[in-house]
A and B are shown apart, each in its own frame.
Chain A
Amino acid sequence: MGRPFVLPDLGEGLTEAEIVAVLVREGEVIREDAPLLEVETDKARVEIPSPMGGRIEAIHVSPGETVKVGAALVTFADAAVGSAAAGAPDKSPAPATSRAPGAAPVAQRATPAAPPRSAPGPSPPVPSPVHSPPSQSPLADTSRAADGAPARPERVGPVPATPATRRLARELGVDLRAVRPTGPGGRVTDADVRAAGAPATGEPGPAAAPATRPPVATPLAPAPFQIPPLPRFEQWGPVERAPLSHLRRTIAERMTLSAAIVPHVTHFDRADITDLDALIRANLEAARARGVTLTLTSFLLKAAALTLAAHPSFNASLDAAAGELVLKRYHHLGVAVATERGLIVPVIRDVDRKPLLALAAELGALAQRVRDGKATLDDLRGGTFTITNIGALGGTGAIPIINYPEVAILGVARAREEPVVRGGQIVARLILPLTLTFDHRVADGADGARFAADLVRRLEHPDQLLLEL
């Protein structure tokens, strides 16, 4: 029989990984936490530690192979004694531990205070169950309910829920058996599933305090589309097929999703950064003395973070299914980096709280890690807003695609000296073209214009930035 270990949920829409190296052999006895495999996703190479100690009975993957989340990686031989008492009546593939490597708890949806999950006892391998609850995802660390109280005891048989609710639970990575049901006869409803998937503390709505009653959340209508098959190109001439690299595939899928779901609107603006540029030059030496290269980007990050704090709907995500705007109280900004393999967006956390020099230092280190292919999964996750340098290789501007599920992206083109009319005179000023592309479901043109104007003001008057720090 044996205990299979499957590829754990990697979070944030990542559904597969490429096996880079298998670090153990069949028959080998390893201890818990020993490095098991190396996998690659989005060019972040990640080591997966063993969830348990034991003998490796079988290895199901080999280097070069792409496996989906939930696919069996290795099978451990049965232990003499089961690890946890639960007696696991379920027959779904054994969930891996919630310890994804290098991650802050993978379970963003679990409570912050959730204790580590006790691994269920050995479950049988792959064979088809007759009544099986939805496959467990380690993301669903719901062994404890939101308020820390023990969840309902294991039920007998399948959890009562309609097929649509079961599908919702799978999409949200929620384990039905640990959800507190409020439906008739103990049925689990959609609302129950969402409540189980939400973070522990539900903060009330923020700054934008309307005098009228807040609206009741209702789901938005979905947008359907169907892709027709490609024509047979060979009928017109010879073709060659080149398989997409893993990174390219990921980018393609992400871009398609964002383009299809988000109605993009772009607001164009220009910032006179002559004074800002002078400020940077004046402080270059002092910064270098502290081992930091001061760049325009670090100021952009700071200005953007401050502007986001004043326009919170641009620092949010839209939950269309629930009809709610998820306003984030943290400001983690992604900075798009072009590598030879493709576009990568590492994230700097808490930009609003870090001093400028610290931001500049972190930015430099992060960019270097990305270029060296050493960025970790953690480096790439949790972003609330993205800045992309669209002028690095020339050109006057571009309309980038929003980094879903964010709602806005700032494109910065190349700053140029241009003739500008000031006080009736033509003078040379350093002008930075910007584009703010945002989600029209969340913000209107006027909102975008206000955000951009606010950002531009901060860039044009760096002395005012001082007042906000």
Chain B
Amino acid sequence: MVMGDLVREVDVAVIGGGPGGYSAAFRAAELGLETVVVDATQRLGGACLWEGCIPSKALLHVAAVMHDAERVREVGIEYGPPKISIEPLRAWKDDRVVTRLARGLAGVALRRGVEVIGGRAVFEGSRALRVEGEAPQKIHFKHAIIATGSAPDHLPGIEWGPRVMDSTMALELPDVPARLLVVGGGYIGLELGTVYATLGSAVTLVELTDGLLPGVDRDLVQPLARRIDGLFTAVRLGAQVVALRATADRVEVEIEGSGVEPFDRVLVAVGRRAQSAGLGLETTRVQVDERGVIAIDDRCRTSDPSIYAVGDVTGEPMLAHRAMRQGRVAAEVIAGHASAFDNVAVPAVVFTDPEIAWCGLTERDARQTNRPVKVARFLWAASGRAATLGRSDGLTKLIADPDTGRVLGAGVVGPGAGELIAEAALAVETAALAEDLAATIHAHPTLSESVMEAAQSLLLDLRPATPTGA
């Protein structure tokens, strides 16, 4: 490898072109800083665009349409069983969704003057890095932002293989296996399991804890759990994979409590791991823990004054939108603004059917910290819109301060929960009161009314206000 003496001087070097990286880079460029992005794939989008958020939501949309088509049979419109052609489905996902969005990102980068450099970045101290790859070069930066993201974790002792997939492989949709085992009952396992089950696989799910989506309030999970029971062949809770043996044409898996079963493919979705190895961080002051997570403060600064970090590489929650906000904050801090990641409400969404979404304080958090709260639940059985959609199995809840009615958190389960949570996130972030939500007119008939209804019932339930005295 010939190290060219090409040295670039930049204000900001962003390492990793995913949502955290490109958000930081675009914001930095907007603020007048000369910025480059170094990405091993030489393109923007990261795991989110190429092997995560986007392809999975595309497939989940298709699954939802298929479910809707099946359900509409109950009201007199019958389509018959679907004919599934994997090639066009894959092509739509890859070309018309992912590639089109990628071109859009590349266009933005061009317009903002952000150069995307292909290669692996390795730090050489706190002010410089070298790029390894086809076009080696050195970059001297005033500030660097590490946005190298995360990768699927594997089960200890079990290697990836043609029949043992991670989420990336599963999204490539190699085929529709007759029998699929999903290891892990978190959002990735449930989402991908839903896709494959809808396309025709017999899906078995195994989860270590006693319930799906550990950590999420149970009342939000219940409606989903009921549907999953109907959709998947088997759900084994409180169990784990004891042994796994892959052969040429199948995988023999021993699940705790159920013995050995054969599957055509196994999807391992047990979590994601921060990617910070091989960056040369030992030449800097950046602190990394034993899980590879980079320590940052609320300005996204690492222990090294010229290096920032954003996104999955900084730990949980590993969500693209958290990375995007952090990316903007890091760029603004570098540009001298009084910015900080002080967000109170980071929403989370599970894109199954029904969707689940939540933000802010959960009931579980409140219980665990002994914090008194008032919770108001509105059942969609009482929603006009839900009735017209034939989807009365949803629920909207608000969690509020018992004295002031300030909205501390919210949770929604039902179709469109991911969109409905945005209003709640705004309420939590701006310290709005239940009274504000209750008094704001929500269009009728919509599912958004459920937020207003929950707020109205909260008002009935609050402690009487202490008089302020005149």
B405 and A185: CB pair below 8 A? yes
A156 and B371: CB pair below 8 A? yes
**Does B108 interact with chain A (Cβ within 8 Å)?**
no
**Does B283 interact with chain A (Cβ within 8 Å)?**
no
A186 and B297: CB pair below 8 A? no
B342 and A128: CB pair below 8 A? no
B299 and A171: CB pair below 8 A? no
A163 and B285: CB pair below 8 A? no
A158 and B303: CB pair below 8 A? no
Distance A128 CA – B435 CA, assembled complex (angstroms): 33
**Does A49 interact with chain B (Cβ within 8 Å)?**
no
Complex interface residues of chain A between 118 and 134 (CB less than 8 A to chain B) = 125-129, 131-134
Residue among B299, B343, B431 with max Cβ neighbours from chain A (10 Å): B431
A127 and B296: CB pair below 8 A? yes
B297 and A128: CB pair below 8 A? yes
Chain B contacts of A71 at CB under 8 A?
301, 305
**Does B148 interact with chain A (Cβ within 8 Å)?**
no
Chain B residue with the shortest CB-CB distance to A61:
B305
B297 and A229: CB pair below 8 A? no
A135 and B336: CB pair below 8 A? no
B342 and A158: CB pair below 8 A? yes
**Does B287 interact with chain A (Cβ within 8 Å)?**
yes
Q: How far is the CB of B425 from chain A (nearest CB, A)?
A: 12
**Does A67 interact with chain B (Cβ within 8 Å)?**
yes
B342 and A132: CB pair below 8 A? yes
Asked if A184 meets B371 with Cβ closer than 8 Å, knowing A65-B305, A126-B295, A227-B32, the reply is no
Q: Which of A15, A65, A67, A132 contacts B298 (CB 8 A)?
A: A132
Chain A contacts of B433 at CB under 8 A?
184-185
**Does A162 interact with chain B (Cβ within 8 Å)?**
yes
B303 and A126: CB pair below 8 A? yes
Distance A71 CA – B344 CA, assembled complex (angstroms): 24
Number of interface residues of A (CB under 8 A): 42
A134 and B342: CB pair below 8 A? yes
**Does B48 interact with chain A (Cβ within 8 Å)?**
no
Please encode chain B, from 393 to 417, with 1 for each CB lying within 8 Å of some chain A CB and 0 for all others: 0000000010011101000000000
Q: How far is the CB of B260 from chain A (nearest CB, A)?
A: 42
Chain A residue with the shortest CB-CB distance to B404:
A185
Q: How far is the CB of B122 from chain A (nearest CB, A)?
A: 21
Chain A contacts of B342 at CB under 8 A?
132-134, 158, 163, 166
Distance A156 CA – B403 CA, assembled complex (angstroms): 14
**Does B41 interact with chain A (Cβ within 8 Å)?**
no
B295 and A229: CB pair below 8 A? no
Chain A contacts of B305 at CB under 8 A?
60-61, 65, 67-68, 71-72
Please encode chain A, from 127 to 145, with 1 for each CB lying within 8 Å of some chain B CB and 0 for all others: 1110111110000000000
Chain A contacts of B210 at CB under 8 A?
none
A131 and B344: CB pair below 8 A? yes
**Does A161 interact with chain B (Cβ within 8 Å)?**
yes
**Does B34 interact with chain A (Cβ within 8 Å)?**
yes
Please encode chain A, from 182 to 196, with 1 for each CB lying within 8 Å of some chain B CB and 0 for all others: 011111000000000
A166 and B431: CB pair below 8 A? no
A162 and B30: CB pair below 8 A? no
Chain B contact surface mostly: loop
B406 and A185: CB pair below 8 A? yes
A-B contacts, CB under 8 A, total? 102
Distance A157 CA – B401 CA, assembled complex (angstroms): 12
Q: Which of B295, B338, B343, B435 contacts A170 (CB 8 A)?
A: B338
Chain B residue with the shortest CB-CB distance to A173:
B338
Distance A352 CA – B167 CA, assembled complex (angstroms): 75
Chain B contacts of A72 at CB under 8 A?
303, 305
Chain B contacts of A68 at CB under 8 A?
305
A166 and B285: CB pair below 8 A? no
**Does A160 interact with chain B (Cβ within 8 Å)?**
yes
Chain A residue with the shortest CB-CB distance to B300:
A128
Q: How far is the CB of B34 from chain A (nearest CB, A)?
A: 6
Q: Which of A129, A186, A226 contacts B32 (CB 8 A)?
A: A226
B340 and A166: CB pair below 8 A? yes
Number of interface residues of B (CB under 8 A): 40
Chain B contacts of A129 at CB under 8 A?
297-298
Please encode chain A, from 38 to 73, with 1 for each CB lying within 8 Å of some chain B CB and 0 for all others: 000000000000000000000011000101101110
Residue among B34, B342, B433 with max Cβ neighbours from chain A (10 Å): B342
Q: How far is the CB of B401 from chain A (nearest CB, A)?
A: 7
Q: How far is the CB of B469 from chain A (nearest CB, A)?
A: 14
Please encode chain B, from 34 to 51, with 1 for each CB lying within 8 Å of some chain A CB and 0 for all others: 100000000000000000
Chain A contacts of B298 at CB under 8 A?
92, 128-129, 132, 134-135
A134 and B34: CB pair below 8 A? no
**Does B94 interact with chain A (Cβ within 8 Å)?**
no
Distance A185 CA – B113 CA, assembled complex (angstroms): 45
Distance A197 CA – B285 CA, assembled complex (angstroms): 35
**Does A241 interact with chain B (Cβ within 8 Å)?**
yes
Complex interface residues of chain A between 176 and 216 (CB less than 8 A to chain B) = 183-187
**Does B9 interact with chain A (Cβ within 8 Å)?**
yes
Q: Which of A171, A183, A187 contacts B338 (CB 8 A)?
A: A171
B297 and A92: CB pair below 8 A? yes
**Does B429 interact with chain A (Cβ within 8 Å)?**
yes
Distance A186 CA – B408 CA, assembled complex (angstroms): 13
Distance A255 CA – B141 CA, assembled complex (angstroms): 24
Chain B residue with the shortest CB-CB distance to A132:
B298
Please encode chain B, from 334 to 353, with 1 for each CB lying within 8 Å of some chain A CB and 0 for all others: 00101111111000000000
B338 and A167: CB pair below 8 A? yes
Chain B residue with the shortest CB-CB distance to A66:
B305
Q: How far is the CB of B407 from chain A (nearest CB, A)?
A: 9
A126 and B406: CB pair below 8 A? no
Chain B residue with the shortest CB-CB distance to A253:
B336
Q: How far is the CB of A384 from chain B (nearest CB, A)?
A: 25
Q: How far is the CB of A142 from chain B (nearest CB, A)?
A: 17
Chain A contacts of B204 at CB under 8 A?
none
Chain B contacts of A157 at CB under 8 A?
361, 371, 408
A163 and B301: CB pair below 8 A? no
B431 and A160: CB pair below 8 A? yes
Distance A363 CA – B342 CA, assembled complex (angstroms): 47
Distance A125 CA – B404 CA, assembled complex (angstroms): 34
**Does A93 interact with chain B (Cβ within 8 Å)?**
yes
Q: How far is the CB of A95 from chain B (nearest CB, A)?
A: 12
Chain B contacts of A158 at CB under 8 A?
342, 344
Chain B contacts of A226 at CB under 8 A?
30, 32
**Does B430 interact with chain A (Cβ within 8 Å)?**
yes
Complex interface residues of chain B between 288 and 317 (CB less than 8 A to chain A) = 295-299, 301-303, 305, 314-315
Q: Which of A132, A133, A161 contacts B431 (CB 8 A)?
A: A161
Chain B residue with the shortest CB-CB distance to A159:
B431
Chain B contacts of A186 at CB under 8 A?
404, 406
Q: How far is the CB of B373 from chain A (nearest CB, A)?
A: 11
Chain A contacts of B34 at CB under 8 A?
229-230
Chain B residue with the shortest CB-CB distance to A4:
B303
Asked if A60 meets B285 with Cβ closer than 8 Å, knowing A65-B305, A67-B305, A184-B433, the reply is yes
Distance A435 CA – B340 CA, assembled complex (angstroms): 43
Complex interface residues of chain B between 320 and 365 (CB less than 8 A to chain A) = 336, 338-344, 361
Chain A residue with the shortest CB-CB distance to B429:
A163
Distance A65 CA – B30 CA, assembled complex (angstroms): 27
Chain B contacts of A230 at CB under 8 A?
34
Chain A contacts of B295 at CB under 8 A?
125-128
Distance A65 CA – B284 CA, assembled complex (angstroms): 13
Please name 5 pairs of A and B residues whose Cβ atoms are closer than 8 Å in the assembled complex, sorted by A: A72-B303, A135-B340, A184-B433, A184-B436, A241-B9
Smallest CB-CB A-B distances: 9 pairs: A160-B431, A185-B404, A227-B32, A170-B338, A127-B295, A171-B338, A185-B406, A132-B298, A71-B305
Known: A65-B305, A72-B303, A229-B32. 5 other contacts (CB 8 A): A67-B305, A126-B295, A126-B302, A157-B361, A187-B431
